[in-house]
Structure 1
Amino acid sequence: MEITYRKLTENDLDVFIRMRITQLREEGATEDVDLVPPLTDYYHRHLVDGTFVSWLALDGEKIVGTSGMSFVEKPPYFSCPSGRIGLLSSMYTDPDYRRTGIAKELLRRVTEEARAYGCGCVQITASDMGVLLYTDFGFEKNGNFMQYNL
């Protein structure tokens, strides 16, 4: 198994979106809408404007791992004076390739993208499966995260 890494391109979006939906299903999401059109729209727009980047892991030509980083800006605050935040998403490894270091390498690459973009921090809502990966990498829990659905 020779794993290589490269950035996501528009040509990869069909597979990338299928893997994102598989990830959401594994995490227990309830499906009440077709996510393909809004995901396609999102990735097209944000790949073009540079506010989304993804690294992929490949075994030959087969994509076996994905990552994603969206860049957002908020008013600066003390722990993030740039106001730029990386929102980590789409961390997924094909079940046949798990526990081989792929996710850790993808995480390293996308956090470097966030650093290069000028982000002061990276945030994620971690799945139960991902908590160990993120804590080992240095992420800290923020117990005050809340969400209000509109």
Structure 2
Amino acid sequence: MDAVVLIGRVLFSVLFLGSASGHFMNADAMAGYAKSQGVPSPKAGVLASGGLMALGALSVLLGIWADAGMLLLAIVLLPITFLMHAFWKESDPEAKQNQMVQFNKNLALIGAALMLFAFFAHTPELGLTITGPLFDRG
């Protein structure tokens, strides 16, 4: 089971590492979109969210307080989901559908990250991690 969990951690982390990379490599374009969505300090927001995603994903990937990494990813996704994918504000049907898909994807990722947070916090003998959980039941 340790190998299966490791594979899952790698696959889960790849999505966030890729997204974090995009936040840094395309910061100006992403900040422009964030500004169009009414995000205050859009460039700082893009860079901060990219940094937090990278930190959370590396925590999960390397198994350094993976529980805290999962919680961080859930927390980062929450405002992104509601600020950047507000499908209810769209009037164009195609744009509305696209934003709804992104909103629902993020909700599913938040749910998965919260479940995995609890899993890692309550499974100190998981193996194949560098540290145990930060939020253990002790």
Q: Which TM-score band applies after superposition, normalised by the shorter structure?
A: 0.3 to 0.5
User: Which of the pair is proportionally richer in helix?
Assistant: 2
If you compute each CA radius of gyration, which structure gives the higher value, 1 or 2? 2
User: Which of the pair is proportionally richer in strand?
Assistant: 1
* Higher RCO structure, 1 or 2 (CA under 8 Å, sep 6+): 2
TM-score (norm 1): 0.32
TM-score (norm 2): 0.34
